[in-house]
Amino acid sequence: MFRVEDGDTVTVHYTLAFKSGVIFDTTRHKNPFSFILGDGDFMPGFEKALLGMSIGQTKTVTLKKEEAFGAKFPDLIQSIPRKDIPDHVNCVVGQNIEITLENNQKLVARVTEVDEQSITLDANPPQVGEEIVVTIELMNLA
C-alpha cells in the first residue's frame, strides 16, 4: 500500500471549517483538488496531515493558526473616526462593510469595535488568526 510522501501529486477532497463547525470551504459536490505535496501551495498543516495517508483514507485534524492561515495582519486593522463614516453605514460589531480604496479596489472589512469617537475595522479574512478543522480524504496518489 502506497503512502503519501513529499513530492507526490495528491488528489483530495477536503472540508475547511471553523472550530464552531461552520464550513467555509469544501470540495464536496465539486471536483477534488490536486497538487504536489511540499510545493507550499496549501496550508503547511494541511500538507503535513497528508503525509503517510493512503488512498481512500479520511483524516480530520485541527490546525493551529500558524499551521493554517497564519496570524492577522495588523495593517489590515484600522480605527476610523466616526465623523469619517457615512451616516447610512450601520456601525454594529460583526457587521461587514464594503470599502472602496483609492485605486477603486473593493475590500470587505468587519466592524470589531464601536465607541462614540471611532469604529475599528478588520479587513483580515475571517479564517486568518483562527484554528481550522480540516477533513481530508485522499482520492489519488501519483
State pLDDT tens for residues 111-124.
Answer: 999 999 999 999 99
52/95 same-domain check: no
What confidence tier does 1 reach under pLDDT thresholds 50, 70, 90?
low
42/79 same-domain check: no
Decide if pLDDT at 36 tops 80.
yes
Average pLDDT for 27-36:
95
Average pLDDT for 69-81:
94
Decide if pLDDT at 108 tops 70.
yes
**18: domain range?**
9-70+129-141
Q: State what percent of residues in the chain have pLDDT above 90.
A: 82
Which among 56, 44, 40 is positioned nearest to 3, based on CA atoms? 56
Beta-carbon contacts of residue 124 (< 8 Å; ≥ 6 apart) = 72, 73, 76, 77
81/117 same-domain check: yes
13/65 same-domain check: yes
Beta-carbon contacts of residue 104 (< 8 Å; ≥ 6 apart) = none
pTM assigned to the model: 0.80
Decide if pLDDT at 137 tops 80.
yes
Decide if pLDDT at 106 tops 80.
yes
